[in-house]
């Protein structure tokens, strides 16, 4: 384990019961070992990105303080996805941005830049994704975003018109 680091996790779903899936994921993230849940954004309805011929997504973001190493944290995120019913074994390049019962992305890990097999942090598309930046800005506006300054600076560069906060999660 490492010194405590603030990690930002993006959550999304558009199959089954997306809001319930996100609530379950938040509970699972709150129970992670060597970690403390610091903040959870509101839930947002967003139009699909990348592959647009699919249902709208429900997205959110979570801020954790964790002592887990990045690869260990990623392993827990994948376990949470599997427990929610996600099967990545059949994922293909054409399904990269397809429908999801649950998707958890490690968006930021402190101010670190990580390029390892299966893990790139900051998330390589975060600076283009209003559906991830808008909820993240709600809970970590000033978080460092290597290569882009901060979450606030990156948010100014995207169109958030397709991102709608939900009144009730």
Query: Which residues are the active-site residues?
Result: 86, 100, 103, 105
Q: First-to-last CA distance in the chain?
A: 33
Q: Residue 34, by phi and psi: left (phi above 0), alpha (psi -120 to 50) or beta?
A: left
Q: Which residue is associated with the tokens 């509970």?
A: 27
Question: Residue 161 gets which letter from DSSP?
Answer: T
| Burial classification of residue 47, based on how many CB atoms lie within 10 Å of its CB (0-12 exposed, 13-18 middle, 19 or more buried) | middle
Long-range contacts at 119-124 (CB < 8 A, ≥ 24 apart): 119/70, 119/71, 119/74, 121/70, 122/146, 122/147, 122/148, 123/10
Half-sphere exposure of 164 (CA within 13 A, CB side): 10
């Amino acid at each position: 384990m490492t010194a405590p680091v603030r990690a930002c996790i993006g959550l999304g779903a558009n199959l089954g019961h997306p809001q319930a899936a996100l609530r379950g994921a938040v509970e699972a993230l709150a129970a992670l070992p060597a970690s403390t849940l610091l903040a959870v954004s509101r839930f947002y309805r967003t139009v699909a990105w990348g592959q647009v011929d699919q249902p709208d997504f429900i997205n959110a973001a979570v801020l954790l303080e964790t002592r887990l190493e990045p690869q260990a944290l990623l392993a827990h995120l994948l376990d949470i996805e599997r427990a929610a019913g996600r099967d990545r074994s059949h994922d293909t390049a054409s399904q990269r941005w397809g429908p999801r019962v649950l998707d958890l992305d490690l968006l930021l890990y402190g101010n670190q830049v990580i390029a390892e097999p299966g893990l790139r942090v900051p998330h390589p598309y975060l600076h283009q994704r209003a559906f991830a930046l808008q909820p993240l800005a709600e809970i970590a506006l000033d978080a460092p975003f290597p290569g882009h300054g901060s979450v606030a600076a990156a948010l100014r560069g995207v169109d958030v018109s397709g991102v709608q906060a939900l009144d009730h999660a």
